[in-house]
């Protein structure tokens, strides 16, 4: 499709844009109450939480009538995996009696690990409530000899010890309820009334949890819902009862754009490159969320520390799961690891809490986090010659350098060929992760990555090699993968810095998704001194990506040019869900 090129608008890309975590609001400007940004403030500071999967499946501990859940599979799915009839599972649940449960001990362990929030399964897929619900008697108080409201005790212990109380709720999947999703071995799927399930169990229980257990930091929904409207009903329900309560991304279906306050990675997932939307990765200490007596694949403390640091270095939160045993105590191996992680956090928490995504690349020796005017270098491995090399350092003068554990002993840094050199002691003080602090003389800035091309290959421009500005965000979605959106006006943009080797004609193709209501949105595509005025075409629903041919342009000379995409006007909606822009040489 040939497009006439519009009047040339010269756009100059400012090199060395400060790149890093999106700042919701400049320091000092109050963030309005009742907004995601305000709700997210504690979440984006605290970074590290404890996930707890506990229920009748903990009694089975990965085994049912001689059948064993293979290690690497989820023990809390045992009812579904072996199609255990509701009647038999309920009978088993009668014996659930965590007599050694002590809420203060669980919360103290989370605290000792350096965790700041705690998410407990209030109702998992098996439909059993870990609190005193009025919806039915299938709950830990009315159904078992335990007779105590475990969530009530846990919420009180959290408040007492300064840990934020949160709960997990499986709002769609329910293998006990005839109208819940997922049990097609006891119930005829064609006869299910899912709306009834939502109105008679799911929403009433969420309401009970948000009115009977004090302030809730976040509700961790799971496995989405069928429609955006259903998800928005839950958001309205939660924020109507507790406006400051966060909602995770799994309230909505995975194929829809985010409805909650922050995005979840896939389980155990890790962002590739930095994501600018608030996000969290739920991870496990071994291979299962619910306890399994067969799964002893416990992660060593160093692995947990590295995952935590990597997550924070990319702007995310790390929600780490423990599956208590049926008696209410934590597996000793999990306790040992968490206590060692806590010892590291005691010494190095400054480099985690309140830190933001680092604009520096991933290094072979470790990762980096950033907070205020400090850059924290996390050394997972120690250089043999005791000299740390930080490449791609750019023009960033260092005011002071020292080990976080030895602030009085200053390190004399130097720079050569855009690489910062930091002399180190002969031995690593902490074999897992020794943190070097760099106090910067000015706000840290990093040049845009240079996108180069092979002799005859196209430029592939995406979220990894571009830099956003304004409200444009690098985001993730289970269906859509990594993409850019949240842009609604000319101040929101994505820019790439190209080094052209191949002069001549190029075919321009853009890949994006756009809902019907976004059709007609105008945007500017600026390539060097040339600017194309383009119009968004609908492609279907969220993340129904299409590649559109925008015609051809000529790059008359070799050398650096910048490319930018930005809305051409202000809109009440997103411009598009952008995936890639390709400039292909035409011969």
Specify the residue, 250 or 371, whose C-beta has the smaller distance to ligand JFZ: 250
Specify the residue, 20 or 282, whose C-beta has the smaller distance to ligand JFZ: 282
Task: Classify residue 65 as left (phi > 0), alpha (psi -120 to 50) or beta.
Answer: left
Residue 366 in the binding site for ligand JFZ (CB under 6 A)? no
Specify the residue, 57 or 578, whose C-beta has the smaller distance to ligand JFZ: 57
Contact region with ligand JFZ (CB under 6 A), list: 73-81, 376-384, 512-520, 575-583: 73-81
Contact region with ligand JFZ (CB under 6 A), list: 70-78, 150-158, 384-392, 515-523: 70-78
Contact region with ligand JFZ (CB under 6 A), list: 71-79, 307-315, 417-425, 526-534: 71-79
CA atoms in the 13 A half-sphere facing the CB of 269: 17
| 299-328 binders of ligand JFZ (CB under 6 A) | none
Nearest by Cα to 221 from 211, 231, 213, 212? 231
Nearest by Cα to 321 from 331, 309, 311? 331
Specify the residue, 76 or 208, whose C-beta has the smaller distance to ligand JFZ: 76
| 238-267 binders of ligand JFZ (CB under 6 A) | 266-267
Residue 72 in the binding site for ligand JFZ (CB under 6 A)? no
Residue 282 in the binding site for ligand JFZ (CB under 6 A)? yes
Alpha-carbon Rg for the chain, nearest whole angstrom, is 26
- For residue 66, the minimal CB distance to ligand JFZ (Å) is 23
Q: Give the span between the Cα atoms of 432 and 415, in whole angstroms.
A: 26
Read off the DSSP letter of residue 154: H
Long-range contacts of 187-196 (CB under 8 A, 24+ apart): 194/226
Specify the residue, 60 or 435, whose C-beta has the smaller distance to ligand JFZ: 60
Contact region with ligand JFZ (CB under 6 A), list: 72-80, 182-190, 384-392, 462-470: 72-80
Specify the residue, 73 or 465, whose C-beta has the smaller distance to ligand JFZ: 73
| 531-550 binders of ligand JFZ (CB under 6 A) | none
Residue 226 in the binding site for ligand JFZ (CB under 6 A)? no
- For residue 52, the minimal CB distance to ligand JFZ (Å) is 11
- For residue 80, the minimal CB distance to ligand JFZ (Å) is 9
- For residue 479, the minimal CB distance to ligand JFZ (Å) is 11
Burial of 432 (0-12, 13-18, 19+ CB in 10 A): buried
Alpha helices in 22-149, H assignment, sequence order: 36-46, 57-60, 78-81, 86-93, 103-112
Nearest by Cα to 83 from 199, 185, 230, 165? 185
Among 289, 376, 476, 523, binds ligand JFZ (CB under 6 A): 289
Residue 424 contacts residue 386 (beta carbons within 8 Å): yes
Among 179, 208, 222, 542, binds ligand JFZ (CB under 6 A): 222
Let me know the angle formed at the C-alpha of 325 by 323 and 326, rounded to the nearest 5 degrees: 125
Nearest by Cα to 112 from 374, 322, 303? 322
Let me know the angle formed at the C-alpha of 531 by 586 and 1, rounded to the nearest 5 degrees: 45
Contact region with ligand JFZ (CB under 6 A), list: 69-77, 148-156, 239-247, 387-395: 69-77
Specify the residue, 57 or 363, whose C-beta has the smaller distance to ligand JFZ: 57
Q: Give the span between the Cα atoms of 24 and 46, in whole angstroms.
A: 16
Contact region with ligand JFZ (CB under 6 A), list: 74-82, 139-147, 159-167, 325-333: 74-82
Backbone phi and psi for residue 449, each to the nearest 5 degrees, phi listed first: -60, 140
Specify the residue, 319 or 451, whose C-beta has the smaller distance to ligand JFZ: 319
Specify the residue, 210 or 320, whose C-beta has the smaller distance to ligand JFZ: 320
- For residue 78, the minimal CB distance to ligand JFZ (Å) is 10
**Helix H or strand E segment including 305:** helix 301-313
Residues 468-497 vs ligand JFZ: string with x where CB under 6 A? ----------x-------------------
**Helix H or strand E segment including 240:** helix 228-241
E strands within 222-272?
246-247, 263-264
Strand partners, 553: 506
Tell me how far apart the terminal alpha carbons of the chain are, to the nearest angstrom: 18
- For residue 304, the minimal CB distance to ligand JFZ (Å) is 17
Strands 387-390 and 374-379: unpaired
Residue 74 in the binding site for ligand JFZ (CB under 6 A)? yes
Specify the residue, 289 or 376, whose C-beta has the smaller distance to ligand JFZ: 289
Among 76, 176, 430, 462, binds ligand JFZ (CB under 6 A): 76
| 490-529 binders of ligand JFZ (CB under 6 A) | none
The sign of the CA dihedral 128, 129, 133, 137 is positive
Q: How far is CA 296 from CA 68, 280, 285, in A?
A: 14, 25, 10
Specify the residue, 52 or 484, whose C-beta has the smaller distance to ligand JFZ: 52
| Interface positions with ligand JFZ (CB under 6 A) | 74, 76-77, 222, 266-267, 282, 289, 478
């Amino acid at each position: 499709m040939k497009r006439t090129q519009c009047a040339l608008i010269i756009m100059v890309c400012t090199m060395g844009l400060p790149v890093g975590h999106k700042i919701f609001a400049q320091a000092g400007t109050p963030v309005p109450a009742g907004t995601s940004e305000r709700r997210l403030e504690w979440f984006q500071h605290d970074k590290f939480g404890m996930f707890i999967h506990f229920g009748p499946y903990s009694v089975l501990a990965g085994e049912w009538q001689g059948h064993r859940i293979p290690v690497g599979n989820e023990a809390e799915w045992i009812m579904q995996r072996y199609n255990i009839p509701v009647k038999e599972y309920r009978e088993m649940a009668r014996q659930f009696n965590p007599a050694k449960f002590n809420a203060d001990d669980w919360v103290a362990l989370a605290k000792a690990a350096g965790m700041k929030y705690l998410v407990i399964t209030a109702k998992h897929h098996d439909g059993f409530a870990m609190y005193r619900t009025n919806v039915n008697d299938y709950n830990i108080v009315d159904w078992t000899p335990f007779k105590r409201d475990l969530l009530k005790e846990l919420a009180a212990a959290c408040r007492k010890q300064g840990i934020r109380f949160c709960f997990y709720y499986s709002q769609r999947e329910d293998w006990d309820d005839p109208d819940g999703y997922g049990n097609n071995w006891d119930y005829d799927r064609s006869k299910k009334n899912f709306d009834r399930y939502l109105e008679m169990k799911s929403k009433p229980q969420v309401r009970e949890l948000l009115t009977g257990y004090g302030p809730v930091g976040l509700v961790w929904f799971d496995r989405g819902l069928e429609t955006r409207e259903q998800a928005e009903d839950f958001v309205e329900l939660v924020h109507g009862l507790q406006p400051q309560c966060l909602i995770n991304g799994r309230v909505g279906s995975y194929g829809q754009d985010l409805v909650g306050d922050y995005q979840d990675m896939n389980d155990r997932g890790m962002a590739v490159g930095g994501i600018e939307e608030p996000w969290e990765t739920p991870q496990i200490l071994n291979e299962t969320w619910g306890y399994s007596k067969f799964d002893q694949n416990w992660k060593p403390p160093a692995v947990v520390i590295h995952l935590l640091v990597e997550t924070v270095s990319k702007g995310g939160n790390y929600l780490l799961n423990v599956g208590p045993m049926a008696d209410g105590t934590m597996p000793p191996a999990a306790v040992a690891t968490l206590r060692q992680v806590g010892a590291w956090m005691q010494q190095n928490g400054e480099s985690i809490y309140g830190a933001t995504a680092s604009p520096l690349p991933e290094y072979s020796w470790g990762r980096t986090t950033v907070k205020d005017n400090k850059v924290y270098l996390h050394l997972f491995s120690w250089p043999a010659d005791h000299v740390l090399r930080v490449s791609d350092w750019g023009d960033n003068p260092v005011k002071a350098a020292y080990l976080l554990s030895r602030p009085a002993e200053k390190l004399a840094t130097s720079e050569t060929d855009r690489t910062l050199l930091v002399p180190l002691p002969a031995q690593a003080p902490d074999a897992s992760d020794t943190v070097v602090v760099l106090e910067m003389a000015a706000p840290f800035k990093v040049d845009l990555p240079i996108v180069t091309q092979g002799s005859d290959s196209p430029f592939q421009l995406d979220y990894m090699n571009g830099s956003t500005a304004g409200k444009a965000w690098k985001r993730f979605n289970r269906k859509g993968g990594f993409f850019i959106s949240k842009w609604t006006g000319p101040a929101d943009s994505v820019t790439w810095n190209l080094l052209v080797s191949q002069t001549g004609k190029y075919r321009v193709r853009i890949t994006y998704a756009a809902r019907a209501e976004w059709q007609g949105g105008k945007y500017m595509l600026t390539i060097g001194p040339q600017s194309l005025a383009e119009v968004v075409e609908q492609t279907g629903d969220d993340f129904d990506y299409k590649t559109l041919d925008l015609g051809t342009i000529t790059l008359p000379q070799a050398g650096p040019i910048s490319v930018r995409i930005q809305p051409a006007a202000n809109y009440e909606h997103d411009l598009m869900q952008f995936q890639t822009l390709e400039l292909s040489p035409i011969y």
